[in-house]
Structure 1
Protein backbone atom coordinates (compact mmCIF):
# COMPACT_ATOMS: atom_id res chain seq x y z
CA UNK A 1 0.00 0.00 0.00
CA UNK A 2 1.42 3.38 -1.00
CA UNK A 3 1.51 6.41 1.29
CA UNK A 4 -1.54 7.87 -0.47
CA UNK A 5 -3.59 4.68 -0.71
CA UNK A 6 -6.84 4.38 1.23
CA UNK A 7 -7.35 0.72 0.36
CA UNK A 8 -9.34 -1.00 3.09
CA UNK A 9 -10.39 2.30 4.67
CA UNK A 10 -14.00 3.22 5.42
CA UNK A 11 -15.11 6.82 5.07
CA UNK A 12 -18.27 8.72 5.96
CA UNK A 13 -18.92 11.78 3.78
CA UNK A 14 -21.58 14.23 4.98
CA UNK A 15 -22.68 17.19 2.89
CA UNK A 16 -23.11 16.09 -0.74
CA UNK A 17 -25.90 18.09 -2.43
CA UNK A 18 -25.09 17.32 -6.07
CA UNK A 19 -22.18 16.58 -8.39
CA UNK A 20 -20.86 20.14 -7.99
CA UNK A 21 -20.48 19.83 -4.21
CA UNK A 22 -17.07 20.03 -2.59
CA UNK A 23 -18.17 16.98 -0.59
CA UNK A 24 -18.64 15.07 -3.86
CA UNK A 25 -15.17 16.03 -5.05
CA UNK A 26 -13.85 14.58 -1.80
CA UNK A 27 -16.02 11.46 -1.91
CA UNK A 28 -14.97 10.72 -5.49
CA UNK A 29 -11.29 11.18 -4.63
CA UNK A 30 -11.53 8.97 -1.53
CA UNK A 31 -13.21 6.28 -3.61
CA UNK A 32 -10.54 6.50 -6.32
CA UNK A 33 -7.89 6.09 -3.60
CA UNK A 34 -9.52 2.84 -2.50
CA UNK A 35 -11.84 3.84 0.34
CA UNK A 36 -15.31 2.37 0.84
CA UNK A 37 -17.91 5.08 1.38
CA UNK A 38 -20.94 5.87 3.48
CA UNK A 39 -22.88 8.80 2.02
CA UNK A 40 -25.74 10.86 3.43
CA UNK A 41 -28.35 13.14 1.93
CA UNK A 42 -30.20 15.99 3.61
CA UNK A 43 -33.84 15.29 2.72
CA UNK A 44 -36.20 13.82 0.12
CA UNK A 45 -35.67 16.82 -2.17
CA UNK A 46 -31.90 16.22 -2.20
CA UNK A 47 -32.05 12.44 -2.50
CA UNK A 48 -32.53 12.23 -6.31
CA UNK A 49 -29.40 14.37 -6.78
CA UNK A 50 -27.25 12.35 -4.37
CA UNK A 51 -28.42 8.77 -4.83
CA UNK A 52 -26.91 8.35 -8.33
CA UNK A 53 -23.57 9.53 -6.94
CA UNK A 54 -23.73 7.03 -4.09
CA UNK A 55 -24.55 4.32 -6.62
CA UNK A 56 -21.64 5.38 -8.83
CA UNK A 57 -19.14 4.79 -6.03
CA UNK A 58 -20.89 1.67 -4.74
CA UNK A 59 -21.61 3.10 -1.30
CA UNK A 60 -22.96 0.30 0.92
CA UNK A 61 -24.40 2.88 3.31
CA UNK A 62 -26.69 5.60 1.95
CA UNK A 63 -28.98 7.28 4.42
CA UNK A 64 -30.76 10.50 5.32
CA UNK A 65 -29.06 12.91 7.70
CA UNK A 66 -30.35 16.25 8.88
CA UNK A 67 -27.95 17.34 11.62
CA UNK A 68 -30.74 19.25 13.34
CA UNK A 69 -32.25 15.81 14.10
CA UNK A 70 -30.33 13.98 16.88
CA UNK A 71 -32.25 10.79 16.08
CA UNK A 72 -30.91 10.80 12.52
CA UNK A 73 -27.35 11.41 13.72
CA UNK A 74 -27.65 8.49 16.14
CA UNK A 75 -29.24 6.22 13.52
CA UNK A 76 -26.43 6.96 11.05
CA UNK A 77 -23.70 5.78 13.39
CA UNK A 78 -25.72 2.78 14.50
CA UNK A 79 -25.91 1.81 10.82
CA UNK A 80 -22.15 2.29 10.39
CA UNK A 81 -21.50 0.15 13.48
CA UNK A 82 -23.86 -2.55 12.18
CA UNK A 83 -22.52 -2.67 8.61
CA UNK A 84 -18.83 -1.91 9.16
CA UNK A 85 -18.12 -2.11 12.88
CA UNK A 86 -15.49 0.63 12.57
CA UNK A 87 -14.70 3.88 10.76
CA UNK A 88 -11.48 5.41 9.44
CA UNK A 89 -12.44 8.76 7.92
CA UNK A 90 -15.12 11.34 8.71
CA UNK A 91 -15.74 14.21 6.29
CA UNK A 92 -17.99 17.06 7.50
CA UNK A 93 -18.86 19.44 4.67
CA UNK A 94 -21.98 21.28 5.78
CA UNK A 95 -22.72 24.89 6.68
CA UNK A 96 -25.80 27.07 6.91
CA UNK A 97 -26.93 30.56 7.89
CA UNK A 98 -30.38 32.09 7.45
CA UNK A 99 -30.48 34.32 4.36
CA UNK A 100 -31.36 37.45 6.33
CA UNK A 101 -28.31 37.05 8.56
CA UNK A 102 -26.01 35.92 5.75
CA UNK A 103 -26.87 38.97 3.63
CA UNK A 104 -26.75 41.45 6.48
CA UNK A 105 -24.11 42.96 8.72
CA UNK A 106 -22.72 40.89 11.57
CA UNK A 107 -23.57 43.70 13.98
CA UNK A 108 -27.22 43.24 12.99
CA UNK A 109 -27.24 39.43 13.18
CA UNK A 110 -30.12 37.94 15.10
CA UNK A 111 -29.39 35.74 18.09
CA UNK A 112 -31.49 32.99 16.52
CA UNK A 113 -29.68 33.20 13.18
CA UNK A 114 -26.24 33.24 14.75
CA UNK A 115 -27.12 30.30 16.97
CA UNK A 116 -28.45 28.29 14.04
CA UNK A 117 -25.39 29.03 11.90
CA UNK A 118 -23.10 27.93 14.72
CA UNK A 119 -25.12 24.79 15.41
CA UNK A 120 -25.28 23.54 11.81
CA UNK A 121 -21.81 24.70 10.75
CA UNK A 122 -19.77 24.05 13.90
CA UNK A 123 -21.47 22.10 16.65
CA UNK A 124 -22.65 19.47 14.18
CA UNK A 125 -18.97 18.70 13.55
CA UNK A 126 -18.47 18.22 17.27
CA UNK A 127 -21.53 15.95 17.45
CA UNK A 128 -20.43 13.82 14.51
CA UNK A 129 -16.90 13.45 15.86
CA UNK A 130 -18.35 12.52 19.27
CA UNK A 131 -20.49 9.78 17.71
CA UNK A 132 -17.66 8.62 15.44
CA UNK A 133 -15.01 8.46 18.17
CA UNK A 134 -15.89 4.96 19.48
CA UNK A 135 -15.64 3.65 15.90
CA UNK A 136 -12.54 5.51 14.75
CA UNK A 137 -9.38 3.48 14.36
CA UNK A 138 -5.79 4.63 15.13
CA UNK A 139 -4.63 6.40 11.99
CA UNK A 140 -8.13 7.71 11.43
CA UNK A 141 -8.90 11.22 10.18
CA UNK A 142 -11.67 13.76 10.69
CA UNK A 143 -11.98 16.57 8.15
CA UNK A 144 -14.14 19.68 7.92
CA UNK A 145 -14.45 22.57 5.44
CA UNK A 146 -13.49 26.17 6.21
CA UNK A 147 -12.91 29.31 4.11
CA UNK A 148 -10.49 32.25 4.05
CA UNK A 149 -13.23 34.40 5.58
CA UNK A 150 -12.35 32.73 8.89
CA UNK A 151 -9.05 34.65 8.90
CA UNK A 152 -9.74 37.91 7.08
CA UNK A 153 -12.82 39.96 6.32
CA UNK A 154 -14.25 38.85 2.98
CA UNK A 155 -16.92 41.06 1.43
CA UNK A 156 -20.41 39.54 1.62
CA UNK A 157 -19.27 36.56 3.71
CA UNK A 158 -20.77 38.29 6.75
CA UNK A 159 -21.82 36.02 9.61
CA UNK A 160 -20.03 33.01 8.16
CA UNK A 161 -16.67 34.64 8.89
CA UNK A 162 -17.05 34.34 12.67
CA UNK A 163 -18.70 30.95 12.26
CA UNK A 164 -15.82 29.51 10.22
CA UNK A 165 -13.32 31.03 12.66
CA UNK A 166 -15.08 29.10 15.40
CA UNK A 167 -14.92 25.96 13.25
CA UNK A 168 -11.16 26.30 12.83
CA UNK A 169 -10.70 26.82 16.58
CA UNK A 170 -12.87 23.76 17.19
CA UNK A 171 -10.72 21.76 14.78
CA UNK A 172 -7.60 22.59 16.81
CA UNK A 173 -9.28 21.64 20.08
CA UNK A 174 -10.59 18.34 18.73
CA UNK A 175 -7.14 17.57 17.31
CA UNK A 176 -5.65 17.92 20.78
CA UNK A 177 -8.34 15.74 22.32
CA UNK A 178 -8.30 12.92 19.75
CA UNK A 179 -4.55 12.97 19.18
CA UNK A 180 -3.74 10.47 21.97
CA UNK A 181 -5.98 7.95 20.17
CA UNK A 182 -3.98 8.37 16.96
CA UNK A 183 -6.76 10.25 15.16
CA UNK A 184 -6.06 13.45 13.25
CA UNK A 185 -8.48 16.37 12.89
CA UNK A 186 -7.94 18.98 10.18
CA UNK A 187 -9.79 21.62 8.17
CA UNK A 188 -9.58 22.15 4.43
CA UNK A 189 -9.97 25.74 3.26
CA UNK A 190 -10.93 25.79 -0.42
CA UNK A 191 -10.90 29.01 -2.33
CA UNK A 192 -14.00 30.36 -4.05
CA UNK A 193 -15.72 27.47 -5.82
CA UNK A 194 -19.13 27.59 -7.46
CA UNK A 195 -21.37 25.27 -5.46
CA UNK A 196 -25.01 25.24 -4.43
CA UNK A 197 -24.04 26.56 -1.01
CA UNK A 198 -21.92 29.42 -2.37
CA UNK A 199 -24.78 30.59 -4.56
CA UNK A 200 -26.39 32.00 -1.43
CA UNK A 201 -23.56 34.50 -0.95
CA UNK A 202 -24.26 37.91 -2.46
CA UNK A 203 -22.12 38.83 -5.51
CA UNK A 204 -20.37 35.47 -5.42
CA UNK A 205 -19.59 35.56 -9.14
CA UNK A 206 -17.66 38.79 -8.60
CA UNK A 207 -15.82 37.15 -5.68
CA UNK A 208 -14.75 34.32 -8.00
CA UNK A 209 -13.55 36.68 -10.70
CA UNK A 210 -11.57 38.78 -8.20
CA UNK A 211 -10.01 35.69 -6.62
CA UNK A 212 -8.94 34.24 -9.96
CA UNK A 213 -7.21 37.50 -10.80
CA UNK A 214 -5.42 37.77 -7.44
CA UNK A 215 -4.20 34.21 -6.96
CA UNK A 216 -0.51 33.58 -7.69
CA UNK A 217 -1.50 30.74 -10.00
CA UNK A 218 -4.13 32.90 -11.77
CA UNK A 219 -6.80 30.25 -11.47
CA UNK A 220 -9.28 28.84 -9.00
CA UNK A 221 -9.17 25.50 -7.24
CA UNK A 222 -11.74 22.85 -8.17
CA UNK A 223 -13.64 20.27 -6.17
CA UNK A 224 -11.16 17.70 -7.50
CA UNK A 225 -8.28 19.73 -6.02
CA UNK A 226 -10.03 19.69 -2.65
CA UNK A 227 -10.56 15.96 -3.01
CA UNK A 228 -6.84 15.45 -3.57
CA UNK A 229 -6.10 17.42 -0.40
CA UNK A 230 -8.54 15.30 1.56
CA UNK A 231 -6.93 12.09 0.33
CA UNK A 232 -3.53 13.40 1.43
CA UNK A 233 -4.69 14.30 4.94
CA UNK A 234 -6.63 11.05 5.35
CA UNK A 235 -3.82 8.86 4.06
CA UNK A 236 -0.72 7.54 5.85
CA UNK A 237 1.19 10.41 4.21
CA UNK A 238 -0.72 12.88 6.41
CA UNK A 239 -0.50 10.95 9.67
CA UNK A 240 1.60 13.62 11.42
CA UNK A 241 -0.53 16.58 10.36
CA UNK A 242 -3.30 17.55 12.77
CA UNK A 243 -5.02 20.67 14.03
CA UNK A 244 -4.18 22.38 10.74
CA UNK A 245 -6.14 24.39 8.20
CA UNK A 246 -4.91 23.42 4.74
CA UNK A 247 -5.53 26.11 2.12
CA UNK A 248 -6.44 24.79 -1.31
CA UNK A 249 -6.94 28.10 -3.09
CA UNK A 250 -4.19 28.50 -5.72
CA UNK A 251 -2.32 30.66 -3.20
CA UNK A 252 -5.02 33.30 -2.69
CA UNK A 253 -4.49 33.35 1.11
CA UNK A 254 -0.86 34.57 0.80
CA UNK A 255 -1.81 37.74 -1.07
CA UNK A 256 -2.30 41.09 0.64
Structure 2
Protein backbone atom coordinates (compact mmCIF):
# COMPACT_ATOMS: atom_id res chain seq x y z
CA UNK A 1 0.00 0.00 0.00
CA UNK A 2 1.39 3.40 -1.02
CA UNK A 3 1.94 5.99 1.68
CA UNK A 4 2.72 9.69 1.44
CA UNK A 5 6.42 9.72 0.64
CA UNK A 6 8.04 12.47 -1.40
CA UNK A 7 11.64 11.36 -0.97
CA UNK A 8 13.54 11.91 -4.20
CA UNK A 9 10.82 14.09 -5.73
CA UNK A 10 11.50 17.59 -7.04
CA UNK A 11 8.76 20.20 -6.81
CA UNK A 12 8.23 23.79 -7.93
CA UNK A 13 6.21 26.12 -5.71
CA UNK A 14 4.71 29.25 -7.27
CA UNK A 15 2.79 31.49 -4.91
CA UNK A 16 4.55 31.89 -1.55
CA UNK A 17 3.91 35.45 -0.40
CA UNK A 18 4.41 35.18 3.37
CA UNK A 19 4.00 32.73 6.22
CA UNK A 20 0.20 32.83 5.92
CA UNK A 21 0.19 31.71 2.28
CA UNK A 22 -1.48 28.49 1.22
CA UNK A 23 1.66 27.85 -0.82
CA UNK A 24 3.73 28.12 2.35
CA UNK A 25 1.59 25.60 4.20
CA UNK A 26 1.96 23.23 1.26
CA UNK A 27 5.71 23.82 1.05
CA UNK A 28 6.15 22.84 4.68
CA UNK A 29 4.22 19.62 4.11
CA UNK A 30 6.16 18.78 0.94
CA UNK A 31 9.44 19.38 2.72
CA UNK A 32 8.48 17.32 5.77
CA UNK A 33 7.65 14.39 3.49
CA UNK A 34 11.09 14.54 1.87
CA UNK A 35 10.65 16.59 -1.31
CA UNK A 36 13.33 18.89 -2.71
CA UNK A 37 11.83 22.25 -3.62
CA UNK A 38 12.21 25.24 -5.89
CA UNK A 39 10.39 28.44 -4.92
CA UNK A 40 9.64 31.68 -6.73
CA UNK A 41 9.03 35.25 -5.68
CA UNK A 42 7.26 37.98 -7.65
CA UNK A 43 9.82 40.81 -7.42
CA UNK A 44 12.49 42.38 -5.22
CA UNK A 45 9.90 43.69 -2.77
CA UNK A 46 8.49 40.19 -2.31
CA UNK A 47 11.89 38.51 -2.11
CA UNK A 48 12.58 39.70 1.44
CA UNK A 49 9.49 37.82 2.62
CA UNK A 50 9.81 34.73 0.43
CA UNK A 51 13.53 33.94 0.56
CA UNK A 52 13.72 33.34 4.35
CA UNK A 53 10.76 30.96 4.10
CA UNK A 54 12.21 29.15 1.09
CA UNK A 55 15.45 28.73 2.99
CA UNK A 56 13.55 27.19 5.92
CA UNK A 57 12.47 24.34 3.63
CA UNK A 58 15.95 24.12 2.08
CA UNK A 59 14.79 25.18 -1.38
CA UNK A 60 17.59 24.48 -3.84
CA UNK A 61 16.29 27.01 -6.37
CA UNK A 62 14.91 30.42 -5.37
CA UNK A 63 14.11 32.51 -8.42
CA UNK A 64 12.12 35.58 -9.46
CA UNK A 65 8.97 34.87 -11.41
CA UNK A 66 6.34 37.19 -12.77
CA UNK A 67 4.11 34.75 -14.65
CA UNK A 68 3.31 37.50 -17.15
CA UNK A 69 6.95 37.39 -18.29
CA UNK A 70 7.75 34.71 -20.85
CA UNK A 71 11.45 35.41 -20.33
CA UNK A 72 11.29 34.73 -16.59
CA UNK A 73 9.24 31.57 -17.17
CA UNK A 74 11.79 30.30 -19.68
CA UNK A 75 14.71 31.16 -17.39
CA UNK A 76 13.15 29.38 -14.41
CA UNK A 77 12.50 26.15 -16.26
CA UNK A 78 15.90 26.26 -17.90
CA UNK A 79 17.45 26.44 -14.42
CA UNK A 80 15.31 23.52 -13.24
CA UNK A 81 16.40 21.46 -16.23
CA UNK A 82 20.08 22.22 -15.66
CA UNK A 83 19.98 21.68 -11.88
CA UNK A 84 17.59 18.74 -11.66
CA UNK A 85 16.96 17.41 -15.15
CA UNK A 86 13.37 16.65 -14.16
CA UNK A 87 10.33 17.93 -12.31
CA UNK A 88 7.94 15.71 -10.35
CA UNK A 89 5.29 18.17 -9.21
CA UNK A 90 4.25 21.79 -9.45
CA UNK A 91 2.01 23.92 -7.25
CA UNK A 92 0.33 26.97 -8.79
CA UNK A 93 -1.10 29.08 -5.96
CA UNK A 94 -1.47 32.57 -7.39
CA UNK A 95 -4.46 34.73 -8.23
CA UNK A 96 -4.93 38.40 -9.02
CA UNK A 97 -7.62 40.84 -10.11
CA UNK A 98 -7.34 44.65 -10.20
CA UNK A 99 -8.97 46.05 -7.08
CA UNK A 100 -11.48 48.21 -8.92
CA UNK A 101 -12.74 45.16 -10.82
CA UNK A 102 -12.61 42.78 -7.85
CA UNK A 103 -14.65 45.05 -5.60
CA UNK A 104 -17.36 45.86 -8.12
CA UNK A 105 -20.13 43.87 -9.73
CA UNK A 106 -19.16 41.31 -12.34
CA UNK A 107 -21.40 43.06 -14.84
CA UNK A 108 -19.39 46.26 -14.33
CA UNK A 109 -15.88 44.79 -14.63
CA UNK A 110 -13.67 46.21 -17.33
CA UNK A 111 -12.47 44.20 -20.28
CA UNK A 112 -8.86 44.75 -19.27
CA UNK A 113 -9.55 43.84 -15.64
CA UNK A 114 -11.23 40.60 -16.69
CA UNK A 115 -8.39 39.71 -19.05
CA UNK A 116 -5.76 40.45 -16.41
CA UNK A 117 -7.52 38.34 -13.79
CA UNK A 118 -7.93 35.47 -16.23
CA UNK A 119 -4.33 35.68 -17.42
CA UNK A 120 -2.65 35.73 -14.00
CA UNK A 121 -5.08 33.45 -12.18
CA UNK A 122 -5.85 30.88 -14.88
CA UNK A 123 -3.81 30.99 -18.08
CA UNK A 124 -0.57 31.16 -16.08
CA UNK A 125 -1.34 27.61 -14.92
CA UNK A 126 -1.42 26.53 -18.56
CA UNK A 127 1.89 28.27 -19.26
CA UNK A 128 3.50 26.52 -16.30
CA UNK A 129 2.03 23.16 -17.32
CA UNK A 130 3.37 23.50 -20.87
CA UNK A 131 6.90 24.06 -19.59
CA UNK A 132 6.64 21.38 -16.91
CA UNK A 133 5.42 18.67 -19.29
CA UNK A 134 8.78 17.86 -20.96
CA UNK A 135 10.47 17.70 -17.54
CA UNK A 136 7.97 15.18 -16.21
CA UNK A 137 9.54 12.33 -18.13
CA UNK A 138 8.22 9.66 -15.77
CA UNK A 139 4.93 11.36 -15.05
CA UNK A 140 4.15 13.97 -12.46
CA UNK A 141 1.53 16.06 -10.71
CA UNK A 142 0.24 19.57 -11.41
CA UNK A 143 -1.73 21.22 -8.63
CA UNK A 144 -3.59 24.53 -8.47
CA UNK A 145 -5.79 26.31 -5.93
CA UNK A 146 -9.47 27.16 -6.39
CA UNK A 147 -12.35 28.20 -4.14
CA UNK A 148 -16.05 27.38 -3.60
CA UNK A 149 -17.00 30.71 -5.19
CA UNK A 150 -16.33 29.07 -8.55
CA UNK A 151 -19.38 26.83 -8.10
CA UNK A 152 -21.75 28.89 -5.98
CA UNK A 153 -22.24 32.63 -5.69
CA UNK A 154 -20.30 33.87 -2.66
CA UNK A 155 -20.93 37.45 -1.60
CA UNK A 156 -18.05 39.79 -2.45
CA UNK A 157 -16.08 37.12 -4.36
CA UNK A 158 -17.27 38.84 -7.52
CA UNK A 159 -14.97 38.59 -10.55
CA UNK A 160 -12.91 35.77 -9.08
CA UNK A 161 -15.92 33.45 -9.27
CA UNK A 162 -15.93 33.22 -13.09
CA UNK A 163 -12.12 33.17 -13.13
CA UNK A 164 -11.86 30.23 -10.72
CA UNK A 165 -14.60 28.41 -12.67
CA UNK A 166 -12.40 28.73 -15.75
CA UNK A 167 -9.42 27.44 -13.75
CA UNK A 168 -11.38 24.36 -12.67
CA UNK A 169 -12.41 23.64 -16.27
CA UNK A 170 -8.76 24.02 -17.24
CA UNK A 171 -7.83 21.37 -14.67
CA UNK A 172 -10.21 18.89 -16.28
CA UNK A 173 -8.98 19.51 -19.83
CA UNK A 174 -5.30 19.40 -18.86
CA UNK A 175 -5.93 16.16 -16.97
CA UNK A 176 -7.47 14.62 -20.10
CA UNK A 177 -4.66 15.82 -22.36
CA UNK A 178 -1.71 14.97 -20.12
CA UNK A 179 -2.93 11.70 -18.68
CA UNK A 180 -1.38 9.74 -21.54
CA UNK A 181 2.04 10.64 -20.18
CA UNK A 182 1.03 9.90 -16.59
CA UNK A 183 0.83 13.56 -15.60
CA UNK A 184 -1.98 14.14 -13.13
CA UNK A 185 -3.75 17.48 -12.77
CA UNK A 186 -5.85 18.47 -9.76
CA UNK A 187 -7.17 21.49 -7.90
CA UNK A 188 -7.55 21.89 -4.17
CA UNK A 189 -10.38 24.11 -2.96
CA UNK A 190 -9.76 25.24 0.61
CA UNK A 191 -12.34 26.99 2.70
CA UNK A 192 -11.72 30.60 3.77
CA UNK A 193 -8.43 31.11 5.58
CA UNK A 194 -6.49 34.26 6.45
CA UNK A 195 -4.05 34.96 3.61
CA UNK A 196 -2.88 38.12 1.92
CA UNK A 197 -5.11 37.34 -1.07
CA UNK A 198 -8.15 36.87 1.19
CA UNK A 199 -7.51 40.25 2.79
CA UNK A 200 -8.39 41.82 -0.55
CA UNK A 201 -11.98 40.56 -0.32
CA UNK A 202 -14.59 42.79 1.27
CA UNK A 203 -16.22 41.49 4.48
CA UNK A 204 -13.82 38.56 4.71
CA UNK A 205 -14.19 38.33 8.49
CA UNK A 206 -17.94 37.71 8.21
CA UNK A 207 -17.25 35.06 5.57
CA UNK A 208 -14.88 33.31 7.97
CA UNK A 209 -17.39 33.48 10.82
CA UNK A 210 -20.11 32.01 8.61
CA UNK A 211 -17.75 29.21 7.57
CA UNK A 212 -17.04 28.15 11.16
CA UNK A 213 -20.71 28.33 12.15
CA UNK A 214 -22.07 26.35 9.18
CA UNK A 215 -19.39 23.79 8.38
CA UNK A 216 -20.02 20.35 9.93
CA UNK A 217 -16.72 20.40 11.83
CA UNK A 218 -17.34 23.92 13.22
CA UNK A 219 -13.69 24.91 13.30
CA UNK A 220 -11.40 27.19 11.32
CA UNK A 221 -9.22 25.78 8.59
CA UNK A 222 -5.47 25.57 9.24
CA UNK A 223 -2.59 25.75 6.79
CA UNK A 224 -1.41 22.29 7.81
CA UNK A 225 -4.83 20.88 6.85
CA UNK A 226 -4.30 22.14 3.31
CA UNK A 227 -0.63 21.17 3.16
CA UNK A 228 -1.16 17.57 4.21
CA UNK A 229 -3.80 16.97 1.54
CA UNK A 230 -1.68 18.68 -1.11
CA UNK A 231 1.23 16.38 -0.18
CA UNK A 232 -1.06 13.40 -0.66
CA UNK A 233 -2.14 14.60 -4.12
CA UNK A 234 1.41 15.02 -5.42
CA UNK A 235 2.54 11.70 -3.94
CA UNK A 236 2.37 8.25 -5.49
CA UNK A 237 -0.39 7.44 -3.01
CA UNK A 238 -2.69 9.49 -5.28
CA UNK A 239 -1.43 7.91 -8.53
CA UNK A 240 -5.01 7.19 -9.67
CA UNK A 241 -6.39 10.65 -8.84
CA UNK A 242 -6.63 13.26 -11.59
CA UNK A 243 -8.99 15.88 -12.99
CA UNK A 244 -10.64 16.64 -9.66
CA UNK A 245 -11.46 19.67 -7.55
CA UNK A 246 -10.89 18.54 -3.97
CA UNK A 247 -12.54 20.46 -1.14
CA UNK A 248 -10.60 21.03 2.06
CA UNK A 249 -13.23 22.97 3.94
CA UNK A 250 -14.40 21.09 7.03
CA UNK A 251 -17.40 19.91 5.01
CA UNK A 252 -18.75 23.39 4.20
CA UNK A 253 -19.54 22.51 0.58
CA UNK A 254 -22.20 19.98 1.63
CA UNK A 255 -24.21 22.54 3.62
CA UNK A 256 -27.10 24.35 1.95
Smaller-chain TM-score bracket = over 0.9
* CA positional deviation for 1:19: 0.7
Of residues 223-232 and 131-140 in structure 1, the stretch that sits farther from structure 2 once superposed is 131-140
Deviations 1:29-87 (A, max 9, x none): 00001000000001111111111111111111000000111110111000100100000
What's the offset of the Cα at 1:237? 1.0
8 A contact 1:87–1:135 mirrored in 2:
yes
**Structure 1 alignment gaps of length 5 or more:** none
SS in 1 for 2:219: coil
* 1:112 shift after superposition: 0.3
Deviations 1:228-248, CA, capped at 9 Å, x for gaps: 111111111101010000000
TM-score, normalisation: structure 1: 0.98
- Alignment correspondent of 1:189: 189
In the other structure, the counterpart of 1:210 is: 210
Who is 2:27 aligned against? 27
Instruction: Return the offset for 1:138.
Output: 2.8
Distance across 1 between alignment mates of 2:27 and 2:136? 18
Counterpart in the other structure of 1:156: 156
Q: Which residue of 1 aligns with 2:97?
A: 97
Correspondences of 1:11-22 after superposition (within 5 Å)? 11-22=11-22
Aligned residue number for residue 232 of structure 2:
232
Name which of structure 1's ranges 214-223 and 29-38 shifts more when overlaid on structure 2: 214-223
User: CA contact under 8 A between 1:137 and 1:183: conserved in structure 2?
Assistant: no
Q: TM-score, normalised by structure 2?
A: 0.98
Matched residue, 1:123:
123
- For the Cα contact (< 8 Å) 1:139–1:239, is it kept in 2? no
Give the deviation of 1:193 after TM superposition: 0.5
Q: Are 1:10 and 1:87, in contact at CA under 8 Å, matched by a contact in 2?
A: yes
Give the match's secondary structure for 1:12: strand
Residue 2 of structure 1 deviates from its aligned partner by: 5.2
**Offset at 1:220?**
2.1
The 5-angstrom pairing of residues 135-150 of structure 1 reads 135-150=135-150
Q: Which residue of 2 aligns with 1:251?
A: 251
Name the residue aligned to 1:165: 165
C-alpha offsets along residues 65-118 of structure 1, whole Å, 9 cap, x if unaligned?
A: 001111101110001001000000000000000001100000001000000000
Where do 5+ consecutive residues of structure 2 fail to align?
Answer: none
The RMSD of aligned alpha carbons is 0.9
Aligned-partner Cα distance in 2 for 1:138–1:96: 32
Within 1, Cα distance between the matches of 2:55 and 2:136?
25
Q: Secondary structure at the match of 1:209?
A: helix
